[in-house]
């Protein structure tokens, strides 16, 4: 398997030789019986199905449950590459947290003319209720997922920032557990950094963000919308792994100025809520009055310093793709440094000149909704029909501020296991970052998503993508 000459192949050099990060793995792979590997591949899928690791696809068969395909060929990153990536990730996450504090206080970046005020005025994710309030420990973005793509040996770009409720970490953990169960000898041969302590690190990081009124051992709970949510497996998995309570809105109420959860011995105060409920549904007294997923009065307790909500309400601003286009300015404004991890070149359709360029080049560009996610609401020009392009053109013309466009990147490839052997497919990477008042903790690895269809650039599970175990090699 040499892959296409047009894309950076993470496993092999242009001459077909194996890159050093993959050398131990390839020696092992070449010595394996192909029939045994095929059987292991089928076993992995059966294991995932038994464990219940599925996700829901909305809009199809009333939230049909699907298995996220797992590919058993790891994506391998050497220690030096990871160090460089970590520095860039830490810089960006630090800037995002500082940015959130500024947006809800003096808005210095707007006053300095580095960010247009309209991006807040027209942004549903920006919450007036958070103005003037600082969360416990000054942390807004407790858990962040930074989506990265690679185009060359030292060329990594940030594709998206996920600071609202980044998902997928359960797949990172289950992928590793599955690999270790299937191929224990591989982990003796290859010195791989561990990811299995992520739940412990998450619990510790959240506890460090507890409000001042918390006891010495803060009580942490995971707030889920319930079993019909597409990420419910992850909510239950993380609560179990952290030793935290899994609660729904109906399990919580405000008691004596604290948020308390129902237990067999009455209501018990909660200090930190890791919420997987969107802002709109968090508190029916503050946001959507019809919500039954949240807790009436939780925002009053929050603003009074009686509880920590992770991530803070209003952090969805960071996920906005129009805000993303200003991230180089945001990083420099708050850190005083040039970004170590560049953005993908981005055209804002709200700008007249950019809009003209985008409309003239739709067939070559990727166009995304500013508030879109999950691979929905986007146009991949080179893979679209003329009719799809013209329909999307009409959407952009009707609402230019609602879209950004980017070039079609030459995403790097990693091998996947097929019946015919290894074959290159495009990948991205979502490392997970934990933020507490005195520390930014980056898990050595993350979730590699892979476009399983040959030639496809869309890695989202909702669009037919799969996942891989991500190995960061030790020094």
Q: Among 412, 392, 403, 417, which Cα is nearest to 459's?
A: 412
pLDDT digits (tens, 9 = 90+) for 113-125: 999 998 988 888 9
Residue 172 lies in a domain: yes
pLDDT for 52 equals 62
pLDDT for 49 equals 74
Residue 83 lies in a domain: yes
pLDDT for 409 equals 85
Which of 34-48, 233-247, 299-313 has the weakest average pLDDT? 34-48
Residue 397, pLDDT above cutoff 50: yes
pLDDT digits (tens, 9 = 90+) for 121-145: 888 899 999 999 999 999 999 999 9
pLDDT digits (tens, 9 = 90+) for 21-50: 999 999 999 999 999 999 998 888 888 777
Residue 190, pLDDT above cutoff 80: yes
How would residue 462 be classed by pLDDT, with cut points 50, 70 and 90?
A: low
- Give the mean pLDDT of the chain: 91
Same domain? For 322 and 377 the reply is: no
Q: What is the pTM of this model?
A: 0.92
pLDDT for 62 equals 39
How would residue 347 be classed by pLDDT, with cut points 50, 70 and 90?
A: very high
Task: Tell me which of 55 and 194 has the higher pLDDT.
Answer: 194
Boundary of a domain, candidates 385, 407, 429: 407
Task: Give the CATH number, domain containing residue 356.
Answer: 3.30.1490.270
Same domain? For 69 and 48 the reply is: yes
How would residue 2 be classed by pLDDT, with cut points 50, 70 and 90?
A: very low
Tokens linked to 419: 């019946």
Which of 16-30, 37-51, 183-197, 305-319 has the weakest average pLDDT? 37-51
pLDDT digits (tens, 9 = 90+) for 419-455: 888 999 999 999 999 999 999 999 999 999 999 888 7
Same domain? For 124 and 180 the reply is: yes
Residue 63, pLDDT above cutoff 50: no
Boundary of a domain, candidates 356, 386, 407: 407
Same domain? For 143 and 184 the reply is: yes
Same domain? For 399 and 417 the reply is: no
Same domain? For 361 and 392 the reply is: yes
Same domain? For 401 and 364 the reply is: yes
Same domain? For 195 and 101 the reply is: yes
Q: Long-range contacts made by residues 97-101, C-beta under 8 angstroms, separation at least 24?
A: 97/138, 97/139, 97/140, 97/141, 97/435, 98/334, 98/335, 99/318, 99/330, 99/333, 99/334, 100/140, 100/141, 100/163, 100/312, 100/314, 100/315, 100/317, 100/318, 101/134, 101/138, 101/140
What domain count does the chain have? 2
Residue 54, pLDDT above cutoff 90: no
What is the average per-residue pLDDT within 393-398?
95
Domain range holding 403?
347-407
pLDDT for 46 equals 82
Tokens linked to 379: 């146009």
Same domain? For 87 and 159 the reply is: yes
Share of the chain above pLDDT 70, in %: 94
How would residue 66 be classed by pLDDT, with cut points 50, 70 and 90?
A: low
For residue 311, say if its preceding peptide bond is cis, omega within 30 degrees of 0: yes
Same domain? For 90 and 169 the reply is: yes
Residue 3 lies in a domain: no
CB atoms within 10 A of CB 17: 11
Asked if 276 and 222 count as a contact pair (C-beta separation under 8 A), the reply is yes
Boundary of a domain, candidates 363, 388, 407: 407
Same domain? For 205 and 123 the reply is: yes
pLDDT for 57 equals 41
Residue 300 lies in a domain: no
Residue 416 lies in a domain: yes
Residue 354 lies in a domain: yes
SS (H, E, C) the chain: CCCCCCCCECCECCCCCECHHHHHHHHHHHCCCHHHHHHHHHHHHHHHHHHCCEEEECCCCCCEEEECCEEEEEEEECHHHHHHHHHHHHHHHHHHHHHHHHHCCCCHHHHCCCCCCHHHHCCCCCCHHHCCCCCHHHCCCCEEEEEEEEEECCEEEEEEEECCCCCCHHHHHHHHHHHHHHCHHHHHHCCECCCCCHHHHHHHHHHCCCCCCCCCCCCEEEECCCCCCCCHHHHHHHHHHHCCEEECHHHEEEECCEEEEEECCEEEECCEEEECCCHHHCCCCCCCCCCCCCCCCHHHHHHCCCCEEECCCCHHHHHCHHHHCCHHHHHHHHHCCCCCCCECCCEECCCHHHHHHHHHCHHHEEEEECCCCCCCCEEEHHHCCHHHHHHHHHHHHHCHHHEEEEECCCCCEEEEEECCEEEEEEEEEECEEEEECCEEEECCCCEEEECCCCCCCCCCHHHCCEEEEEEEECC
pLDDT digits (tens, 9 = 90+) for 248-296: 999 999 999 999 999 999 999 999 999 999 999 999 999 999 999 999 9
Backbone angles phi, psi at 71, to 5 degrees: -105, 130
Same domain? For 323 and 373 the reply is: no
Residue 430 lies in a domain: yes
Asked if 97 and 141 count as a contact pair (C-beta separation under 8 A), the reply is yes
Residue 124 lies in a domain: yes
């Amino acid at each position: 398997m040499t892959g296409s000459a047009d894309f950076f192949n993470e496993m092999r050099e242009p001459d077909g030789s194996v890159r050093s990060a993959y050398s131990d793995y390839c020696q092992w792979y070449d010595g394996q019986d192909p029939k045994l590997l095929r059987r292991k591949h089928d076993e992995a899928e059966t294991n995932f199905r038994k464990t219940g690791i599925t996700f829901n696809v909305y809009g199809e068969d009333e939230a049909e449950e699907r298995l996220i395909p797992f590919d058993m060929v790891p994506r391998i990153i050497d220690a030096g590459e990871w160090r460089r990536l970590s520095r860039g990730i830490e810089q960006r996450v630090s800037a995002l947290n500082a940015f959130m504090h500024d947006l809800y206080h003096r808005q210095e970046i707007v006053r300095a003319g580095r960010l247009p005020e309209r991006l807040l005025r027209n942004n549903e994710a920006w919450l007036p209720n958070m103005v003037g309030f600082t969360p416990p420990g000054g942390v807004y973005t407790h858990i962040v997922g930074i989506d990265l793509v690679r185009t060359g040996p030292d060329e990594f770009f940030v594709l998206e920032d996920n600071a609202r409720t980044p998902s997928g970490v359960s797949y990172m953990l289950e992928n590793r557990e599955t690999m270790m169960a299937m191929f224990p000898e591989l982990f003796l041969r290859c010195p791989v950094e561990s990811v299995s302590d992520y739940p412990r690190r998450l619990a510790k990081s959240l506890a460090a963000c507890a409000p001042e009124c918390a006891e010495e051992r803060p009580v942490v709970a995971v707030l889920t919308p319930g079993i019909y949510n597409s990420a419910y497996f992850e909510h239950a998995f993380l609560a179990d792994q952290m030793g935290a309570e899994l609660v729904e809105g109906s399990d919580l109420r405000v008691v004596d100025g604290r948020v308390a959860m129902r237990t067999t011995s009455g209501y018990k105060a909660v200090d930190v809520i890791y919420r997987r409920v969107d802002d709109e549904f968090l508190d029916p007294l503050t946001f959507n009055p019809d919500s039954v997923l949240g807790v009436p009065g939780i925002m009053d307790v929050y603003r009074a310093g009686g509880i920590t909500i992770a991530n803070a309400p209003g952090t969805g601003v960071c996920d906005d793709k129009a805000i993303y286009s200003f991230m180089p300015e945001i990083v420099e404004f708050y850190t005083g440094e040039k970004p170590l991890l560049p953005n993908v070149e981005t055209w804002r359709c709200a700008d007249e000149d950019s809009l003209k360029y985008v409309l003239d080049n739709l067939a070559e560009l990727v166009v995304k909704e500013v508030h879109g996610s999950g691979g929905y609401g986007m146009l991949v020009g080179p893979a679209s029909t003329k009719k799809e392009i013209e329909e999307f053109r009409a959407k952009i013309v009707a609402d230019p501020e609602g879209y950004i466009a980017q070039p079609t990147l030459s995403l790097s490839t990693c091998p996947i296991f097929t019946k015919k052997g290894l074959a290159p497919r495009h990948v991205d990477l979502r490392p997970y970052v934990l933020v507490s008042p005195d520390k930014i903790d980056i898990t050595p690895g993350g979730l590699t998503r892979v476009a399983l269809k040959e030639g496809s650039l869309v890695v989202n599970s909702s669009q037919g993508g799969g996942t891989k175990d991500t190995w960061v090699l030790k020094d």
